[in-house]
Amino acid sequence: MKKIAVTGAAGKVGKQVVKELLKNNYEVLSITHSPRNIPGDEISLDVAEYKEVYNALAGCEGIIHLAAIPGPRKQKDALVLKTNTIGTYNILKAAGERDINRVAVASTDCTLGFTFSKNKPVPEYLPVDEKHPLKPDDSYGLSKVFAEKAAEAMVQRYPGMSVASLRITYVANPEDYKSDFFLRSLKNPEIDPWNLWSYIDNRDAARAFRISIEKDLAGHEIFFIAASNTRSYLPSQELIKRFYPAVKLKQEIKGHQSLEDSSKAEKILGFKAKYRWNDFLNY
């Protein structure tokens, strides 16, 4: 596997994924919605248009699909659903038709429903894992649930296809750790129960996507991708007592342990996050 297509290559995660692939000697086809002068070969298209997607993927051996509208608040619901759901379907179908058997898709912890739902559910247990029920009532969370279902359907349609849906959480660059937003989050946990105070360093996220297309999954697998700790000064048990006192614990939770369980990614992909905000703030 040599040439990898990256959709959403101009985005925050996309830029880091392109850098990660080039560093590991892959050829990269950067797919953007409009020209952005990204390193490597670049092509601009609309992922909601199947013919454009199919034609662009000629010669590729793997795909990392990141292109999406990243939330429900700045665009109409219909556009969020169309872009994120149809776009993923088109990528997966085109991959199958072109015998591209390694695909990674950016999913999200927003599938749980805690982030953007109007009537937010509470966790059924902590830490959450890939078996936790999904209850979003917003267009973005739903679009990612539909995208995961599309991946499940396409590995049935195209036997031999390997698809990893990575439920990435809040993504931080190293410079973000000293930003006003991040520092407020650490001090004020009431700001961020929307994703259980989780985060992932962008370099770790990019590495997770690379590893996921290098692994033969023989089907579709879903993975949470989060740092091992929370982004809060409060210990995790204190966060649970304050915000989710009635939620049962599926395991003992120690220190600042993340409330999103990424152990499946470690077990199957061999991925474990390396970077923590503590290392940059000397905490």
Report whether 88 contacts 147 (CB < 8 A): yes
Identify any residues that bridge with 168 across adjacent strands, giving them in sequence order: 108, 225
| Residues with active-site annotation | 140
Residue 157 burial (CB count, 10 A): 11
Which segments of the chain does DSSP mark as H helices, in order?
A: 12-23, 50-56, 77-81, 87-97, 139-157, 180-187, 202-214, 236-243, 263-264, 278-281
Is 62 in contact with 5 (CB distance < 8 Å)? yes
Query: By C-alpha distance, which of 158, 205, 161, 154 is closest to 8?
Result: 205
